[in-house]
Chains A and B, each alone.
Chain A
Amino acid sequence: MKKLIILIIICAGIQQGLSQSPVYPWNTEWDAVEDNAYIKDTQNQLLPYTGTWVYTNGNKKVTIKLQRIMYYYTSGKKHFMDKIAGRYKVENGSTVVFSDWDLNFASANLSGVRIYENKLYGSYFDAGNCRILSDVKIWLDPNNPNKMYMESELQGKMPFVQDEDECPQWRNPGFGENPTIPRSIVLYKQ
C-alpha cells in the first residue's frame, strides 16, 4: 500500500512538472494564449478516434494508425497542444504501395486539430504525391464506434516541397488526382 501511495505521489509530481504551462481547453484558439501555454484535450474528445483502422477494397488495403499526440510543440508563437496524428500503410495485394508506418508521430502528415459537430477536421499532406495538401474530415458512425468515415478534398496541386524541382511530375496532366489514401473511405477498428 505504501508503495502504491509513493508511486501516486511520484506520478503526481511528474504530472505537476509537465503542467507548469498554463492549460487551456482544446477549443482555445492558438493566438488567444500566451507563449508556453498548453492547449489540452481536457475532455478527451480525441480518444475515440485513436487506434488502428483498416479500409479494404478488393486487393487494396489502407491501414491507418491514429494517435493522440500530447504536448505537441507548435512553431510560431511557441506553445503546446494535443492533436490527432496519423501514420498509414497502403498495400495492393502483397505489395506495399506506401508506408510511413515506422516514422514518429510528431511530424505525421495526417492530422486532426478541430472538432465541429462530431467531426474531426484536419489535413493530409500526401507524402506519396509530393506532399500535396488536402483538407480531411473524419467522423465515427454514431451507431458503431468501431466504424469510421474519412473524406478528403484536395486544396491544390502545388507540391509542398522546399524546391518544386524535386517533384517534376507535378506539372503532368492528372497529377494529384489519385491520392495515396483514397478520397472517401470507410474504415473499421482493429
Chain B
Amino acid sequence: MDTAQIMGLVTGILFGFLLQKGRVLRFEKQVGAMLLKDMTILKFMLSAIMVGMVGVALLADAGVIALGHKPMNVGAIVVGGALFGAGWAVMGFCPGTSVGALGEGRWHAAFGVAGMLAGAALYAELYPLMKATVLSWADFGKIGLPETLGVSPWVVIIVFIAVALGLFRWFESRGL
C-alpha cells in the first residue's frame, strides 16, 4: 500500500467507527429520517457539518488547505439528486453507510451495494448521452455560497449553526 492508501484506510476505519457508534448505519435510521420519525442521521450530519465548516473555513482562510467545490450543474444536481433521493429511500442506505452496515452484520446491505456497482457501470455506459443532455443544460461551475451571496463565509456559518441548533432543540422537544 502507498501512503495515500494507508491514509485512506486509517481515516475510513475512524469514520466507520464513528458512523457505527452514532448508530446511523441502520436501515431504520435512514428510512426513519425520511419518514420524519427519527432524526438521528440529521443530528449526526448537522453536527459533523457545523464542526467541519468552522475548521475548513479557518484552514482555508489561512491558506493551509484548498477548497474543492463540486460544480453547480443545475441539471445534474436536480435530476441526479432526485434519482438519488428516490433510490436512497427504497434501498435504505447511502453509498458510505451501505458498506458500514455490512460491517455491522446487516448483510442485506450487500444487495444495495451490488445495485450501486451496477448503477455506476450503467452511468459509465450512458455518460456520453448524459453529457449531451442533462449535464449540458446549465452549469454555474464550482461556486461557494458566500461569494454567490456576496457575504463573508462566517456569516453563512453563523446562520447555519443558529438554524441547526434551533432544529436540535425542536427535535429534542418533539422526541424525534
Binding partners A and B: no
A contacts, CB < 8 Å to B: none
